[in-house]
A = this chain, B = another copy of it.
Amino acid sequence: MSRKGKLSAAAVRDSAPVFAALGDETRLRLVARLCEHGPQSIARLTEGEPLTRQAITKHLRVLADAGIARDLRRGRERLWELERRRIDEARLCLDLVSREWDEALARLKAFVES
């Protein structure tokens, strides 16, 4: 996804899964916890959530599949941490939407007034 380019079909294909992964309250809360307190184990991430450990595990798997998080085993526990790249891509995608929408409105206004 280029900085000045249009919203390509490729950008849409790449970003949709990321948004889908972030589009669940539990998962977004997990992301918030991870980015606030750094890498954490599954057990730790489950603390305070009203769900079972297995449910949390599944959510983390979804985040991993979307390229948002990755895990590294350490002894008997598995630490999860965020992966910034995909998140930044999605952010850029929203930047583009905002900017292009503005331009479309400007064009529309100019057209109406002419």
Q: Residues on A close to B: CB < 8 A?
A: 6-7, 9, 12-13, 15-25, 28-29, 31-32, 34-39, 82, 84, 87-88, 90-91, 94-98, 100-102, 104-105, 107-108
Contact = CB atoms under 8 A, between A and B. Distances in A.
Nearest to A38: B104
B23 A104 contact: no
Given A12-B25, A19-B23, A88-B98, 15 more contacts: A6-B36, A7-B36, A13-B25, A15-B28, A21-B23, A32-B97, A35-B96, A38-B104, A82-B97, A84-B98, A84-B102, A88-B94, A90-B94, A91-B91, A94-B94
Contacts of A35: 7, 96-97, 100-101, 104
A95 B100 contact: no
Contacts of A37: 104
27 contacts: A12-B28, A12-B29, A12-B32, A13-B25, A15-B22, A15-B28, A16-B24, A16-B25, A16-B28, A18-B23, A19-B19, A19-B20, A19-B22, A19-B23, A19-B28, A20-B20, A21-B23, A23-B23, A35-B104, A36-B100, A37-B104, A38-B104, A38-B107, A84-B102, A87-B94, A88-B98, A91-B95
